[in-house]
Structure 1
Amino acid sequence: MKGFIALLLGISASAASCAAATPKAPGLTYLYSLNCTLGVSLPVGAGPHGTRTVIPIVGGTFSGPRMSGKVLNLGADWGLVDKDGTFSADTRYQLQTNDGAHIFIRTAGPAQTDGKLHLRMEFETGSADYYWLNKIVAVGVLTTGNGYVLIDGWQLESPK
């Protein structure tokens, strides 16, 4: 009877029983740790989504098992504070690897109750050696400092 009802609803009995199982979580592979130097912030005012402040990104370094290099003085965080007082990062900046490749990066994500920010990370490069970055989903955890931020980044991996 249960199988017949499932068929009437347009799903198979096996699909109906699988829906209740908890899927296996994806894994994370460490990408790098980044230390980013910040310039003097510039409040630019209120808008429809909150109050923006531009924070220049003026340098830094990053290092990990597959890539390392420097953060170029080409970017900023156009951070937003929403009506509830939560800061969310909205960055665009440029990395240069030690072997000369250029990697554009965008990050975005809200502050957490512990003061860290959880970031979505998106990479863009034409370098053959780092082209794999264009195809990944990555996340990061940002810790703030006085005039700098630290970001640890990971690549999302399919469950095994």
Structure 2
Amino acid sequence: MLSIRAVICTLTCLLFSGLALAQATPRAPGLTFLYSLNCTLGASLPVGAGPNGNRVVIPITGGSFKGPRLSGKVLPLGADWGLIDSKNTFSADTRYQLQTDDNAHIFISTSGPAQSDGFIHLRIKFETGSSKYYWLNNVIAVGILTSGNGYVAIDAWQLTSPTKA
């Protein structure tokens, strides 16, 4: 015979597990377009094998970016210190500098793996002391990179909170 305590525990567990199953899928976050960037690249320098794969350094030599809240040029400082892993997947690891049309400086770092469809999915992190663009320091951003002969193009978006019900 079950004790009253055991029955209450069993009913409570069933009630809470039923509630968990009945909950709706959470609302998805949104994306707000930040900019499109075109960047020119220098000749790559194969560094060779290391503990994390084969490293290749690709210099960033210039370019431009344009979006609804910021635009300017890509300065010729920085590079992609990418890795090619044991399964031949390239992962970007960049650090470079933007200068806005109103002369603010924004440091960017990105990382992310190549996908089977040829795109590279990027995590983007911004750093700036500019009061006008300080909001970028707190942005969670993603980008989609496509590459060409001597250049890359990146479309970048800011992650936004889901809308409330």
If the length of structure 2 is used for normalisation, what is the TM-score? 0.89
Among 59, 62, 70, the alignment partner of 2:62 is 59
Indicate the residue corresponding to 1:28 in structure 2. 31
- Does the 8 A contact of 1:31 with 1:153 survive in 2? yes
Change (3 A) 1:104 1:18: same
The runs of 5 or more residues in structure 1 that have no matched partner are: none
Do the aligned partners of 1:6 and 1:16 also contact (CA within 8 Å) in 2? Answer: no
Aligned to 2:114: 111
Higher CA-based Rg = 2
Equivalent residue for 2:73? 70
CA distance in 1, matches of 2:81, 2:68: 29
Paired with 2:120 and 2:94, the residues of 1 have a C-alpha distance of: 12
* 1:150 partnered with 2:145: no
Gaps of at least 5 residues in structure 2 are 1-5
Name the counterpart of 1:94: 97
How far 1:114 moved relative to its partner?
1.0
Change (3 A) 1:6 1:122: farther
Large movers: runs of 4+ above 3 Å = 1-9
User: Which of 35, 40, 49 lines up with 2:52 in the alignment?
Assistant: 49
Q: How many residues get paired?
A: 157
Identity %: 68
Asked if 2 retains the 8 angstrom alpha-carbon contact of 1:35 and 1:150, the reply is: yes
Partner of 1:127 in structure 2? 130
Secondary structure of 1:99 counterpart: coil
